[in-house]
Amino acid sequence: MDFKAIIDEIESDDNKRRKAEHQKRQHVFNDHLRPYVLSMLGKEFSPQTVSEMRTCTSLNLSKRIVQEMASIYRRSPERTYAEATEIQFEGIEAIYTAAKANVKLKRSNEKYKLHDQCAIQVIPKDGEICVKLLAPHQYDVIPDPMDPERPLAYIISVYDKTNLDNETTSVKDIQGNHYGSKNESNSYGANKKIADKNDYKQSMNRYIVWTNELNLVIDSSGNILESNPNPIGMLPFIDVSGEKDFEFWLRRGSGVTEFTLDFAVVMSDVVNTNRLQSYAQPVIVAEKIPESVTVGPQHILFLPIDATRPEVKPSFDFASPNPDLNASLSLVDRLISLFLTSQGIDPKTIASSGEGNKFTSGLERLLSMIEKFEASQDDIELFRDVEQRLYLLFRSWYQVIAGTDMLDQRLNFGAWPDTIIQTVKFSGPEMVRTEADREESVARRLEAGMLSRVEAIMELREVDRDKAVEILLEIDKETFIDQAPSIVDEQG
């Protein structure tokens, strides 16, 4: 391979633009909306106007929407292993637990919904088999020339965030607020004096290359500094992506990210309008500036009269604006509803009125969950394949490092044969009974003679039989006392 040409491609403007797009999505998801919103406002208003505006950049719809869409791992899947002994089953489960597989897969589901694509790297570290998640701006790929949709090699490279954050490299934003520490050169940690997680990469300037056969370390000139065989004979990565268009990268826009920023701009307009038009504006009509312009109940405003022109009388009034804020807020609700509907999400997922989704019965809740469940069937098939690939990588690394100091002895359970087959069952929607459902069920069965009064109390109160009998006697006693006067009246 011509690694110098590959590195030149990695550092090309087109590849940097691709990474910048995904870095933007991640920034917005991680609540760094402000630089982008101020930049968008700066294209509509003058810099001085933006510097004085009241903005609203704290409402991050991106995170809430993505988490709603990434619903596969809300409940842990059930994994079974055919032909595995009890010791092997417990050992494999220990490998998954040590790797925090369910947590990492849940996050990978979120990254997939945010970026349309991500990678899962499986590699031994600190005595365990670890799972690392990579967004598209954190790695590069050499595609297979015979099938561009498949990777031939993965490259973990130094990601120069400085080049991608040119709009946010100043110490202060347009409103005079610091993005981070006043001593930082920029808001996202490029070349700070204090320690940064990427500093070692910047100083080394190395690229780690994985192929089926080799694990290489190369420098920025394409020279191979270190070469080791790939012990598992396969790429230790899982490509999590949707349908491709005859190239490896999915180059699609992110409606979620763009809507989040558009929404923040609209909300900034609303809150700024409210700020500007919530106060009456003093208006003075006079030929000369008054001696005092301080307005308040303890101050007197003196407006002199021109004796030579008695017809000219100075005046002081308040101009009261009447902004239609209800229409603005209605627009906000309409935009949210239309966007969520276009994404196949219940509009009540995000409600400005503060009223969440309410279910009158377990059936209604079940139907709502089924709607979300069916909407992600394609994703479930994708992650079913991801689960199989993850299992294969876990097993391959285990077979290589088991019995060595690279694997903690607590995770060593003996042989992990190829004959063990994993099956994954994802959790579907489950019926949730409300209190009203339970009471209605008990009442119907009691009326039909299917339950005794004692059994009904046991089920509703969740008590044993003795306690239920005691409660029933107390109820009957109170009923008799309440009915005693009417019984005496009837019998004379």
Q: Is the dihedral of CA 108, 114, 116, 121 positive or negative?
A: negative
Chain centroid, CA 314 distance in Å: 60
**What are the strands, taking DSSP E only, across 157-296?**
206-210, 214-219, 224-229, 237-241, 281-285
Q: How confident is the model at residue 39 (pLDDT cuts 50, 70, 90)?
A: very high
Q: Answer yes or no: is pLDDT of 122 > 80.
A: yes
Examine the pLDDT at 231 and tell me if it is beyond 50: yes
Residue 33 has pLDDT above 80, yes or no: yes
Query: For residue range 176-225, what is the model confidence (pLDDT) as tens digits?
Result: 665 543 333 344 444 444 555 555 444 457 899 999 999 999 998 899 99
Q: Evaluate whether residue 261 is within a structural domain.
A: no
> Would you give the DSSP letter of residue 172?
B
Q: For the chain, how many structural domains are there in total?
A: 1
Measured CA to CA, the distance from residue 151 to residue 131 in angstroms comes to 19
In a domain, 172, yes or no: no
Beta-carbon neighbour count of residue 238 at 10 Å? 21
What stretch of H or E contains 481? helix 465-491
In a domain, 256, yes or no: no
Is this structure's pTM higher than 0.75?
no
Tell me which amino acid residue 159 is. Y
Instruction: Write down the mean pLDDT value for the chain.
Output: 82
Query: Please, are residues 490 and 480 in contact by the beta-carbon 8 Å criterion?
Result: no
- Angle between helices 13-29 and 34-42 in degrees, nearest 10: 110
Say what the pLDDT of residue 291 is.
Answer: 63
Q: Are 56 and 264 in contact (CB under 8 A)?
A: yes
- For residue 357, being part of any structural domain is answered with no
CA distances from 47 to 185, 212, 261 (A): 22, 53, 19
Say how far apart CA 19 and CA 30 lie, in whole Å: 16
- Please check whether residue 486 lies inside any domain of the structure: yes
- Residues ≥6 apart with Cβ < 8 Å to 9: 15
In this structure, how many other beta carbons lie within 10 angstroms of the beta carbon of residue 432? 14
Give the domain range for residue 481.
Answer: 435-491
Q: What is the DSSP letter of 420?
A: -
Q: Please check whether residue 27 lies inside any domain of the structure.
A: no
